[in-house]
Amino acid sequence: MNHEILRLQPKVTEIFERILFIWAIRHPASGYVQGINDLVTPFFVVFVCEYIAEEVENFDVSSLPEEVLQNIEADSYWCMSKLLDGIQDNYTFAQPGIQKKVKMLEELVSRIDEQVHRHLDQHEVKYLQFAFRWMNNLLMREVPLRCTIRLWDTYQSEPEGFSHFHLYVCAAFLVRWRKEILEERDFQELLILLQNLPTMHWDNEDISVLLAEAYRLKFAFADAPNHYKK
């Protein structure tokens, strides 16, 4: 499912622009930050799919009745707003929430897989260089859209799913590629790998395995206040 094709439709662009414009006006501390537009897409697709039988990327959204489009737009806006309310410091000036979460990810990975952490450090790969996008786009750019929808479904049912639990998912996601990471011996190649992980054929089963590992990590570290510290 290619969300880029969908978003190129003029009607979809118009709806997204309106959603983001209203959100920016209502949240002057954030304004519009690159990446927020991605966070509308999973909700929009889920709501569109209620009205169609075919694959969404092959469907002309403008052929839906105006009233239906208005409902989809409103539902997408409010769902995105609810999501962003829980992670708003990710999208304020200098994005302090993301900086903090990337640092927490680094500390967590150093505890769960010191070899991978050391390998990245030795090759001078900084977590911000690949994990900033993981936090900014909630892994939307790393996995197919069908997988994002499955992932977010779990986040919705978790307390602080999009903030706290997402951290464990990112740690599990990184360690999932430990073999490939450890085989790379060059800064450039490591960065290319980490920014283009081979997930295009992933399905719900892969996400279920990832989530199971994230739950395992979460319970292993038991939410103790010092669980990121050595």
Task: Please report, rounded to a whole number, the percentage of residues in the chain having pLDDT higher than 70.
Answer: 93
* pLDDT tens digits along 101-145: 999 999 999 999 999 999 999 999 999 999 999 999 999 999 999
How many whole angstroms separate alpha carbon 101 and alpha carbon 167?
A: 7
Q: Which three-class secondary structure state does DSSP give residue 55? A: coil
* pLDDT tens digits along 147-191: 999 999 999 999 889 989 999 999 999 999 999 999 999 999 999
pLDDT above 70 (res 222): no
pLDDT of residue 31: 63
pLDDT above 90 (res 97): no
* pLDDT tens digits along 201-218: 999 999 999 999 999 999
Return all residues near 26 (Cβ < 8 A) that are at least 6 apart: 81
Q: What is the mean pLDDT of the chain?
A: 90
Phi then psi dihedrals of residue 151, to 5 deg: -65, -50
Q: How is the chain split into domains, by residue range?
A: 3-86, 96-223
Its sign, for the CA torsion 27, 23, 140, 223, is positive
Mean pLDDT throughout 46-74?
A: 93
**CATH T-level assignment (fold) for domain 96-223:** Cyclin A; domain 1 (1.10.472)
Is the CB of residue 101 less than 8 Å from the CB of residue 38?
no
pLDDT of residue 223: 56
Residue 92, both tokens: 């304020």
pLDDT of residue 230: 43
Task: Please report, rounded to a whole number, the percentage of residues in the chain having pLDDT higher than 90.
Answer: 74
Mean pLDDT throughout 23-39?
A: 80
How many whole angstroms separate alpha carbon 117 and alpha carbon 108?
A: 10
Return all residues near 7 (Cβ < 8 A) that are at least 6 apart: 13, 16, 37, 41
How many whole angstroms separate alpha carbon 225 and alpha carbon 210?
A: 24
pTM: 0.90
Mean pLDDT throughout 87-103?
A: 85
pLDDT above 80 (res 227): no
